[in-house]
Amino acid sequence: MSEQIIIKSPHEIELMRKAGRLTAQARAYAGSLIRPGITTRELDEAIFKFIRKHGGYPSFYHLYGFKGSACISINDEIIHGVPGKYRLKEGDIVSVDVGACIGDYHLNANKCVDRGGWHGDCCATFPVGKISEEAQRLIDATEGSFWNGIQYAKAGNHVSDISRGVQEYAESHGYSLVREYTGHGVGASVHEAPEVPNYVERRQGRGPVLVPGMVLAVEPMVNAGSAAIRNRTMPDGWVVPLTADGKLAAHYENTILITNGEPEILTRCED
């Protein structure tokens, strides 16, 4: 992740609107396919084809060695779930984290630095068939924490103001925020500065000042139980974080633009 916060020009912002729109459309398309019986690999392949058909490239494809087009996380998997043979079951909840790039996307030789074009990044947690009331409350509170956080995403405020809004909402509903992973800047790379935590600690200070032209991925990762995580290491070394207590986790994310007024959601389907 670049340490420099990159302010986007009006032309770059317009390109990011296109990338964000495609990313949101891919998220919505994935949601329409979720049903008992579909495998996470089938879902991932459909997302890949959708993004390519509409002129983009899946931002996460092989990034950092990831084996998929979208991170698909089930139940107690918090983020970074790897598509595979698992068939979704009635009552599961599934987080689909999607990135799409408009432009000449490529990875460096180590597949750990992405360059070319402009990215969107978004996620939502979906029910598989009929789910428990507890699971639905978690999904709703996770999305609600995002909306509560971005009401503070205004020029002159600080990154920590967003973080505090997310934290206060989630914790007021009895949930925990993951500490090890954060939101981030987005632009010509999927991950840019600054980090956007979902919680506030005094030692971190208030964080950077928000200024027009900053583009951020705000992404609450909310656990039904404790904030503690445990890691599952895949055969290829990829790490998937899960809730330490085995309780459910949910994830919600949009890419937003800081403006002179209200923040603009770039990952939205409508024009």
Q: Positive or negative, the Cα torsion across 248, 81, 161, 212? A: negative
Residue range 215-265, pLDDT digits in tens: 999 999 999 999 999 999 999 999 999 999 999 999 999 999 999 999 999
Using DSSP bridges, classify how beta strands 215-218 and 254-257 pair: parallel, antiparallel or unpaired. Answer: antiparallel
Q: Note if the pTM is more than 0.75.
A: yes
Query: What tokens appear for 52 in the block?
Result: 């390519």
The confidence score (pLDDT) of residue 206 equals 80
The confidence score (pLDDT) of residue 111 equals 61
CA atoms of 92 and 17, how far apart (whole Å): 32
Query: What tokens appear for 3 in the block?
Result: 């340490």
157 SS3 class: coil
Residue range 38-85, pLDDT digits in tens: 999 999 999 999 999 999 999 999 899 999 999 999 999 999 999 999
Name the band, by pLDDT with cuts 50, 70 and 90, for residue 105: confident
**b/e map 69-99, b = 16+ CB within 10 Å:** bbbbbbbbbbbbbbbeebebeeebbbbbbbb
The confidence score (pLDDT) of residue 100 equals 96
Q: Where are the alpha helices (H) located in the chain, listed in sequence order?
A: 10-33, 40-53, 133-150, 159-172
CA atoms of 145 and 256, how far apart (whole Å): 15
Residue range 156-177, pLDDT digits in tens: 999 999 999 999 999 999 999 9
| Distant-in-sequence, close-in-space partners of 110: CB < 8 Å, separation ≥ 6 | none
Residue 115 has pLDDT above 70, yes or no: no
